[in-house]
Amino acid sequence: MSHAHRSTRFSRTFTRCRFLLNSPLGHTRLHWIALCIVAAMLLSSCERATAPGQVSRNTETTDAARMPNNAPAPVMANAEQTAGARMSGGLKRERIDGARHRGDAGSGEREFNTEAYKHIDENPFFEVARAPLSTFSIDVDTASYSNTRRFLRSGQLPPKDAVRIEELINYFSYDYPQPAGDAPFSITSEVAACPWNSKHRLVHIGLQGKRMHKEDLPPANLVFLLDVSGSMNSPDKLPLVKSSLRMLAEQLSARDRLSIVVYAGSSGLALPSTAGDRRGEILAALDALEAGGSTNGGEGIHLAYRVATENFIRGGINRVILATDGDFNVGTTSEGELARLIEEKRKSGVFLSVLGFGTGNVKDATMETLADKGNGNYAYIDELQEARKVLGEQLGATIATIAKDVKIQVEFNPRQAAAYRLIGYENRLLRDQDFNDDTKDAGEIGAGHTVTALYEVVPFGQTFENPGVDALKYQRPAQVSSNANSKELLTIKVRYKDPDANDSKLLSVWVADGGAPIESASNNFKFSSAVASFGMLLRDSKYKGDARYTDVTRLARAAAASDAQGYRAEFIQLVERAQTLAQQSARN
């Protein structure tokens, strides 16, 4: 409200009060007090309408329309998280993590970025003599890579906590051998010099899931669970969701079943379970979807799982595919409550995949948690080409699970290694005793999936940065066995369950270090280590050592020969883009 408008309202209020005071009614003390109270209230409302720093909030639909397609809103460092509300068919509470100005400098117009990423504490080095075991769950999520790509393409370095190095590495496929016999995956290992620290060694571990042709996939019972709330009303959200899911729907056959559940302020069944070859009905249901309202994701999850269990295919693929920005704001909203809900629902044998969409209010931590608890995977769709990768080229890996609760435990030989550090997987760490506990949940491998993990190892006899602990008073560290005198650097153990089983199976291999230099390493090794270096540079990791963007580019180029889809070439372009942005940031 302008100063002139405030003055006019005050003048009118004063004139009315004076008129009443001059009337017979105004001569009574009671009415005099009442009129003063009314005048004070009117003045207070005028002042509140223009409180300093007050920012008007447009509807979520309008905000989304102003947002450039696929461009993330910059995240302001150390921005205070405050409560905000926005109307888009219903009340919406959200955290304000940062803001950016648009329009004229004096307009006061402001757009808010509420993207949320879980803090990551990087894995440190552990002394082999005291902690010889490293245990973690596998991770086949790839969302962090495509989200990082979105930031770089828009001219920004990503927030550090948006960079999960294991997801950058696992975005790419590697040339691992197919499993032999009845095993659902093979195990590959390799040791060579560490690119960013010449004194250290790098261990490369790769799992290759058994590939399945689309025609060999079991029949599928799929439920699309689609967020159609007001927050999804922008070109990089619901329209991209519809285009992406059309690709998947067009690959279904008569033996498959597809349902569509939508949720906003409430949930509903947009398409009952329908045969996969009735594409006209399926595509018409997708085309009819529109965005509006608040986001009751919990209610939608309940309905989606109920529809999936009612149409359950024994021996088939039973999966809910959730497409959302993760911004649940009514009903069940907390990450903990949603996680417990998904944990309960997965007991039905229905798994969950999460596809993240959008810019500005992406709730990355929530979506990752849901996929983790739902025995599924999490991908971020920033463009139609990414949808073709996830729902086309890698459809089997996305929807067909070949092994569940897959855990890795590595035991290091104290006569060969002084210390080790697992690169990435910070939110997948398990206790050592969890490895043999079949009640503990872990990650899944889909048909054709590759999973890669890297360890940076300090050779025996070298010193490393570690504050250590005092000597024990009542016991001594366990003595080494005769096996420690062998050339084995480590032993890899993998536990997994068949998709319908409750008891795990064990695979085990040992690994020796032949002292290979990085130049003689495989392309798998070179490229994965280049991606790991890139991730550490983006995170400004204390463990990045001598890593440089130019070294990352050189190493990646040396391993990009087999690149039919062009993903490795695109990676090199992103590295060069990040180098430019980092240089610009350093100058500023």
Residue-wise pLDDT tens digits, 502-534: 999 999 999 999 999 999 999 999 999 999 999
Domain covering 126-212+402-464+481-560 in this structure, CATH number: 2.60.40.1230
How are beta strands 378-380 and 505-512 bridged, if at all? Answer: unpaired
Distances (CA, A) of 383 to 74, 168, 306: 19, 17, 31
DSSP collapsed to 3 states, 406-450? EEEEEEECCCCEEEEEECCCHHHECCHHHHHCCCCCCEEEECCCE
For the stretch 93-123, what's the b/e string if a residue is b when 16 or more beta carbons lie within 10 angstroms of its beta carbon? ebbbbbeeeeeeeeeeeebbbbbbbeebebb
Those residues whose C-beta lies under 8 Å from the C-beta of residue 68, and which sit 6 or more positions away, are 154
Cβ-based burial of 263 (10 A; exposed 0-12, middle 13-18, buried ≥19): buried
Q: What angle do CA 409, 413, 419 make, to 5 degrees?
A: 85
> Which of the listed ranges 27-36, 103-112, 394-403, 476-485 does the model predict with the highest average pLDDT?
394-403
> If you average pLDDT over every residue of the chain, what do you get?
83
State the average pLDDT over residues 444-469: 92
Query: Which has the higher per-residue pLDDT, 564 or 160?
Result: 160
Q: If you write DSSP's letter for every residue of 475-502 in order, what string do you get?
A: --PPPP-GGGGSSEEEEEEEEEE-TT-S
The least confident of 83-92, 466-475, 539-548 is 83-92
Residue 564, Cβ density class (10 Å: 0-12 exposed, 13-18 middle, ≥19 buried)? exposed
Strand-strand pairing, 185-194 and 417-422 = unpaired
What is the tens place of the pLDDT at every residue in 304-349? 999 999 999 999 999 999 999 877 764 565 678 888 889 888 889 9
Render pLDDT for 166-202 as a digit per residue (tens, 0 to 9).
Answer: 999 999 999 999 999 999 999 999 999 999 999 999 9
Q: Poorest-confidence range of 36-45, 139-148, 215-224?
A: 36-45
Which fold is adopted by the domain 215-393? Rossmann fold (3.40.50)
Round to whole Å and give the CA distance between 355 and 259: 17
* CA nearest to 99, candidates 117, 113, 85: 113
Nearest CA to 493 out of 426, 559, 410, 551 is that of 410
Give the pLDDT score at 25.
44
Distance in angstroms (rounded) separating the CA atoms of residues 37 and 255? 74
Q: Is the pLDDT of residue 16 over 60?
A: no
Res. 275: pLDDT tops 80: yes
Residue 376's alpha-carbon distances to 321, 345, 394, 501, 583, in angstroms, are 9, 13, 14, 16, 38
Alpha-carbon span 43 to 40, nearest angstrom: 5
Give the pLDDT score at 37: 58
N-to-C CA span, the chain = 38
Structure tokens given for 290: 């529109």
Residue 24 in this model has a pLDDT that exceeds 50: no
Q: What is the pLDDT of residues 228-244, one digit of tens each?
A: 988 888 899 999 999 99
Q: Which pair of tokens denotes residue 381?
A: 């769709």
Beta-carbon neighbour count of residue 472 at 10 Å? Answer: 9
The pTM of this model reads 0.80
Share of the chain above pLDDT 70, in %: 79
Residue closest to 579 by CA, chosen among 538, 552, 549, 557: 549
Least Cα distance to 352 among 211, 500, 265, 224 occurs for: 224
> What pLDDT shows up at residue 157?
97
Q: Beta-carbon neighbour count of residue 251 at 10 Å?
A: 14
DSSP lists the bridge partners of residue 221 as 257, 318
How far is the CA of 348 from the CAs of 59, 312, 342, 458, 525, in angstroms?
39, 9, 10, 45, 39
Please name the residue that has the structure tokens 């590697």: 174
State yes or no: pLDDT of 29 exceeds 60: no
CA pair distance 203, 568, nearest whole angstrom: 21
What is the C-alpha to C-alpha distance for residues 422 and 164, in angstroms, rounded to an integer? 13
CA–CA separation, 272 and 402 (whole Å): 28
Work out whether strand 417-422 and strand 82-87 pair parallel, antiparallel, or are unpaired. Answer: unpaired
273 burial via Cβ count (<10 Å: 0-12, 13-18, 19+): middle
Q: What is the mean pLDDT of residues 59-63?
A: 37
The DSSP call for residue 519 is G
The pLDDT-based confidence of 362 (bands split at 50, 70, 90) is: confident
Domain boundaries, the chain: 67-113, 126-212+402-464+481-560, 215-393
Other beta carbons within 10 angstroms of residue 534's beta carbon come to 29
Task: Give the C-alpha separation, 191 to 203, whole Å.
Answer: 5
Residue 309 CA from chain centroid, whole number: 27
Q: How far apart are CA 387 and CA 400, in angstroms?
A: 17
Q: Report pLDDT for 211.
A: 94
Which contacts qualify for 149-154: CB closer than 8 Å, 24 or more apart?
Answer: 149/382, 149/570, 149/574, 150/70, 150/71, 150/72, 150/359, 150/380, 150/382, 151/72, 152/574, 152/577, 152/578, 152/581, 153/70, 153/577, 154/68, 154/70, 154/71, 154/72
The answer for 108, left when phi > 0, alpha when psi is -120 to 50, beta otherwise, is left
In the block, which residue shows the tokens 């809103």? 73
Beta partners for residue 318, in sequence order: 221
